[in-house]
Structure 1
Amino acid sequence: MNEMTQLNRLRSEVPRPGAPELRAEERRLLSEIAALGTAPPARPGRRTGRLPGRPVSLRANLRTSLALGAAAMAVTGVAFVGARSLPSSESAVRVAPVAVVEVLQRAADTASRRDELRPEPGQFLAYELQVMFPVKLKEGGKDVRYLDRSLFKVWLPVEGSPLDGGVMTSEHLEPRPFPGEPLPAEAERREGSVGAPSKLTGYDIRPDHQRTDYVSLSRLPTDLEGMREHLYRGLERDPLADYKAWGGVGSMITQAYMPSAQRAALFRAAGTIPGVETVDEAEDAAGRRGVAVAMVNRPGGVRHEYIFDPTTYLYLGERVVVVDAATAGAPEGTLLTSTAQLKVEVVDQAPKVAR
């Protein structure tokens, strides 16, 4: 690990103030310097220089000091940059101008204030999602890969397993080649095809405490400690407990809807998971830009990110990015999967499925 990496990681835990805060801090410092010769000494233990509306703390002072010291480096474009296959506009992943706790706290505050849906048993939550994921198939006797892009509409029952009445439709959007590989002809043939409503199939073997239907989620704790305990339930001796808890966060916010009290508790609990960092330039599957909170899965060689709107802090989607080419089997920086949660609403019934 070199010095610049260490510096970036140090700054990743300290939120950087915006330009208005920096200007206010500059004015305060200049004012205090000018008054040094005339002002009486401060009483022992007294704190000075409080920004309006912001409690004084060592954390706030450290944040400002680091931000001022890093201002000169910012113009040189100090960033984590990989040999990435993402478009050039998002090729530089800069870690953490906003601290993890601050992002998730703002997301929690947003959840507490927003108007919420109140579905009833017997109804459905209807989701519209745009998704990109890798597909492997045979072409010319060889394994080929590409990135499928699809628009899904999913209707999930408010109570019970998604297999109990869940319905989905899909539309294949323009595919993208897997980094370093040509786009298979089969991928191009699928573009534009639309699937008729079909029942969700598969196996749902999750224990009851991992159910993500609305009724189950509405029974979860509404405090940080209780929600954190829920995230780690059954993982006490698991060496990947932190990463699995991080995955549990995603399972409760993507293609799932929580009451605001539980959602706020979830975001606050997520901020206590060790190893979480922030990524300030993330893009969901629909091209919406935001700030992300992320965790690296070392055994898998990927970074799993949850993306929030940088202004409203509403949840946008998630994505998985390669950080270790040898482990993940794809070039570093490859965007393996991404999701954009575009819409969620309550409906009385799902579309009819043809027999």
Structure 2
Amino acid sequence: MNDHTDSASPERPGDREEIARLLPAPADWDLPREHHLRRRELLMDHIERDRAATPVRPARRLLRPAFLAPVTALALAGLLTAGIALGDGDGKPATGTAADMRPAAALLRQISDAAGQRGTLDVRDDQFVYTEEKVREADLSSGKAVVSPLKDSEKWIAQEPGPLKKLGLIRSDGETFPMNAELGDTEGTPAGFSRPTYHWLGSLPTDPGELLDYLYAKAPHAEGRQRDQAVFEQIGELLGGVVPPRTAAALYQAAAKIPGVTEAPRARDAIGRSGLGIAREDKRYGVHTEWVFDEKDFSFLGSRSYLTKDAPYGKAGTLLSSTAETGTAVVDKAGQVPGGTDGTRTARRS
């Protein structure tokens, strides 16, 4: 417990439950990015080496808000601003009515509802999921963040459950090359977090709480990373592309339960499209990550991450990556462009 209440108004037993009872119920509002993930892990490696000489206290988990004061508009506003929080202390998000009243949770409920209403696709194991994007990203190989110009990127991801040694194709700025198995997967990479096929995504729990527990237990993350941030970013890796509607809806609701998730009012994707933003900051590493959604139909537009404090490889505000999803489809062959022949089928964005 680490609540900060006014010394003149000490918390009384039962206050929390009484306030929750008096407050109205919250309103019910009606593929993969492997190269980004690798660059982010490279970034974290740089940061970890920079901090290696200085002991770092374990990152303290951000906790969920709980209302602990008399029910007046002024007191309630003060508590929301102060960010009073509770958690279960084991690296998993706390639950409760107060947490669901955050603006970010309300927005994610709307996004989830819209995603759940999109049509289910019939994707065969011998097909490929196609994603077209515009991308900017920072190259850290020189020790300084060198941000690339805007580039075109197309990916064809094999849908066979695997394991596979050839995962598909990627075309970046006109150059096409194969996507090989993940490092260390000598027998090939199976469907999973490193290669989220449509059927694998459809096998994930669709209850938001169960899905979040699964992500906290199974999602890969670098040692020393804040677990809440790792799970948030893993959900981001699964967004966009072609995702089963029920899975997409559950992912958004699961994200709403992660401590520290907020709205991002000025969110823009790589090509400048403004939209509704959902964000979380990794305060230990000083990295802000946000997702951008269309204001009208809540479809996923792209993502962006940047530094929030100075680092040896860049100043605060330095862009690390930015994407804009411009098309998705299910196609029969790697390298096939939507609108061609051989059974191309355009998919809605998730």
TM range (shorter): 0.5 to 0.7
More helix by share: 1
Larger Rg over CA atoms:
1
Q: Which amino acid aligns with 1:201?
A: N
Instruction: Tell me the CA shift for residue 203 of structure 1.
Output: 2.2
Distance in 2 (alpha carbons) for counterparts of 1:239 and 1:349: 38
Which residue number corresponds to residue 217 of structure 2?
Answer: 233
Which runs of 5 or more residues in structure 2 are unaligned? Answer: 1-21, 31-66, 79-101, 337-350
Which residue number corresponds to residue 263 of structure 1?
Answer: 248
Which residue number corresponds to residue 145 of structure 1?
Answer: 146
TM-score relative to the length of structure 2: 0.60
1:331 aligns with 2:315: yes
1:292 aligns with 2:257: no
Q: For 2:124, which of 120, 124, 130 is the aligned residue?
A: 120
Change (3 A) 1:321 1:54: closer
More strand by share: 1
Instruction: Tell me the CA shift for residue 53 of structure 1.
Output: 9.8
Which residue number corresponds to residue 61 of structure 2?
Answer: none
Distance in 2 (alpha carbons) for counterparts of 1:54 and 1:293: 16
Change (3 A) 1:209 1:202: closer
Distance in 1 (alpha carbons) for counterparts of 2:29 and 2:132: 39
Which residue number corresponds to residue 111 of structure 2?
Answer: 107
Change (3 A) 1:143 1:320: closer
Change (3 A) 1:281 1:350: same
Which residue number corresponds to residue 137 of structure 2?
Answer: 133
Change (3 A) 1:269 1:238: farther
Distance in 2 (alpha carbons) for counterparts of 1:107 and 1:53: 12
The one-character-per-residue Cα deviations of 1:253-307 (angstroms, maximum 9, x if unpaired) are 14x4320011101100110001111111111012111121111112321111111
Change (3 A) 1:53 1:158: closer
Which residue number corresponds to residue 161 of structure 2?
Answer: 160
Q: Which amino acid aligns with 1:199?
A: P
Which residue number corresponds to residue 3 of structure 2?
Answer: none
Change (3 A) 1:163 1:311: farther
Change (3 A) 1:230 1:53: closer
Say if 1:293 and 1:306, in contact at 8 Å, map to a contact too: yes
Say if 1:220 and 1:227, in contact at 8 Å, map to a contact too: yes
Instruction: Tell me the CA shift for residue 207 of structure 1.
Output: 8.0
Q: Percent identity?
A: 26
Which residue number corresponds to residue 257 of structure 2?
Answer: 272
Q: For 1:170, which of 169, 172, 180 is the aligned residue?
A: 172
* Local SS of the residue matching 1:283: coil
Instruction: Tell me the CA shift for residue 333 of structure 1.
Output: 2.0
* Local SS of the residue matching 1:280: coil
Q: For 2:234, which of 233, 248, 251 is the aligned residue?
A: 248
The one-character-per-residue Cα deviations of 1:120-154 (angstroms, maximum 9, x if unpaired) are 1101111101110013577xxx9783423211111
Which runs of 5 or more residues in structure 1 are unaligned? Answer: 1-46, 71-97, 172-193
Q: For 1:283, which of 258, 262, 268 is the aligned residue?
A: 268
Change (3 A) 1:125 1:285: same
TM-score relative to the length of structure 1: 0.60
Give the length in aligned residue pairs. 247
Question: RMSD in angstroms over aligned alpha carbons?
Answer: 3.9
Change (3 A) 1:224 1:143: closer
